[in-house]
Amino acid sequence: MTFNLRNTMIVATAFAAAMYSTTNANAEGYHVQKQARTHAIAYNDVLNVRAWPAASSRIKFGVNNNRKVYVQRCIIKSGTDWCKIRRGGRTGWVNGRYIIKGGETFARPHYTAYGWH
C-alpha cells in the first residue's frame, strides 16, 4: 500500500469512528431537568405533544403558547432537537424550537453533513 493510500485509509477510519460516536451521543440525548415555557405558537394553535420524537408520531395532547412545561431531556434526531416534556402528569415529545428557557430555545446548533444548523 502506498503512503498516501495508507494515510487516506487511516483518516477515513478515524472519521467513521468519530461519526459513529457522535451519532450514539445524539441518540442518547442530553438531560435537561428544567422548567420552561412553550414559545412561538400561534394564538389559535397548540404545540403538538407526540408519542415519540418524530413529526409523523401520534399526537398525545396539545399545549397552548406561554404555558409552563417541565423538560426532562432532549435528543437530536434527523437534524431536529426533540425534547421530552411533562405537563399536568402527561409526557411526550416536542420540537425543541417551541420551548424556551431564559430567552433561548432548546434547539441547539449542531453539525450535519450540510454544515451547522
pTM of this structure: 0.68
Residue 63 burial (CB count, 10 A): 23
pLDDT at 17: 44
What are the structural domain ranges in the chain? Answer: 30-109
Q: Tell me: the pLDDT tens digits for 36-82?
A: 999 999 999 999 999 999 999 999 999 999 999 999 999 988 888 99
pLDDT at 20: 41
The topology (CATH level 3) of 30-109 is SH3 type barrels. (2.30.30)
Closest by Cα among 116, 79, 72 to 97: 79
d(CA 103, CA 117): 19
Binning pLDDT at 50, 70 and 90, where does residue 108 land?
Answer: low
Which residue's entry shows cell 437534524?
79
Check residue 106 and report its DSSP letter: S
Q: Tell me: the pLDDT tens digits for 12-37?
A: 554 444 444 334 444 557 777 889 99
d(CA 69, CA 77): 21
Binning pLDDT at 50, 70 and 90, where does residue 89 land?
Answer: very high
